[in-house]
Structure 1
Amino acid sequence: MSKFRYGYQKIVDLKTSETKQAEWLLSTSVGKLQSEEALLEKLFQERTSWSERLQDASSSAISLSELVVIQEYVDYLDICISRKHIDVKQAQREVESSRSFLSVKMKDEKVWQKSKEHAFDRFRAVMQVKEQNELDEIATARFMFSAQ
């Protein structure tokens, strides 16, 4: 019995490789998103801390210049937070883009895998017919031999 060889196996392998690359790309995008979100959370915590310092400083005897410096830093943190929001949104868009790219690659791979399965099913059917013909031929030869 002959062995099944799919003529387009290299394409199937390529599609599988492309899917893996798309998975890695998605993983990288998700990692970047998590990193950006963690940095945003850190900025929020720092802003909260400095806002509390500003509240404490305003109720105690502190120079006006120090109050201004603290307020300017809180304002700076607000700017950083707004910029980080933009970075997070961009990272979310990249994740969505990577997800859709992966989806396309997975569908493409699945099409080629199905094609390979159909080719294997056809191969198996042909092999079963050949095998049945050989068995019929053997049975006919035995019948002819025993009839003589």
Structure 2
Amino acid sequence: MRFHYVYQKVVDLKSNQKTQAEWMLSAAVGQLQAEQRSLELLNEEKARTFSAIQSEMGNKASMIKLQELQRYMDYLESCIEIKLGDIQRAEANVEKKKAVLNGKMLDEKVWLKAKEKAKNKFQHEMLLREQNELDEIATVRFAMKAR
């Protein structure tokens, strides 16, 4: 006789939910990394623009060119501030997904533990049945020899 767990579909469901939570966390981490890379690019562009302003000032460039560069620098700074907010939201999302994953992992662990207990109980009962059958066979043989 083979072990069949009555709630196997629940165990499978919990396992699938955990896998989906892992995927969601992975996607959230990917989004966070993309936001961080975007911030790095903005900071690099800001540094290049600052360098361009410095070189234009050394060349005694026109005031219009300097104002244009300064407006671009202000725009980059506002983009950086917005990106920092995006990163904070992405980090909060990652933490939320981690919490969800931890809950799903705990759920799965509870159901797997219940399945393991049921399997151990089944195996114990099977051993008792086998032992009873062997005892009965031994008793019948003894009775046959005693005649």
Alignment TM-score > 0.5, same fold: yes
Q: CA deviation at 1:145?
A: 1.6
User: AA paired with 1:56?
Assistant: S
Q: What letter is aligned with 2:102? A: S
Q: Which residue of 2 aligns with 1:131?
A: 130
Q: Distance in 1 between matches of 2:98 and 2:88?
A: 15
Hey, what's the Cα distance between the residues in 2 that align with 1:122 and 1:49? 70
Deviation sequence 1:58-110 (CA, Å, 0-9, x none): 12121110000001001100000000000000000000000000000000010
> 1:1-148, aligned counterparts within 5 Å?
2-148=1-147
CA distance in structure 2 between the aligned counterparts of 1:77 and 1:98, rounded to whole angstroms: 31
Q: CA deviation at 1:144?
A: 1.3
SS at match of 1:6: coil
Helix, strand or coil at the partner of 1:4: coil
**Aligned partner of 2:11: which letter?**
V
- Unpaired segments ≥5 residues, structure 2: none
State the distance in 1 between where 2:105 and 2:11 align: 12
C-alpha distance after superposition, 1:110-142 (max 9, x if no partner) = 000000001011111111110000010111111
Number of equivalences: 147
Task: Tell me the distance in 2 between the aligned counterparts of 1:76 and 1:17.
Answer: 45
- Of the structure 1 ranges 137-146 and 75-84, higher mean CA displacement relative to structure 2 is found in 137-146
Q: Percent identity?
A: 45
* Mapped partners of 2:4, 2:71: distance in 1: 71
Match for 1:76: what amino acid?
Y
Following superposition, which runs of at least 4 residues in structure 1 exceed 4 angstroms of deviation?
Answer: none
> How big is the shift at 1:5?
0.7
CA distance in structure 1 between the aligned counterparts of 2:33 and 2:146, rounded to whole angstroms: 82
Q: Distance in 2 between matches of 1:9 and 1:33?
A: 36
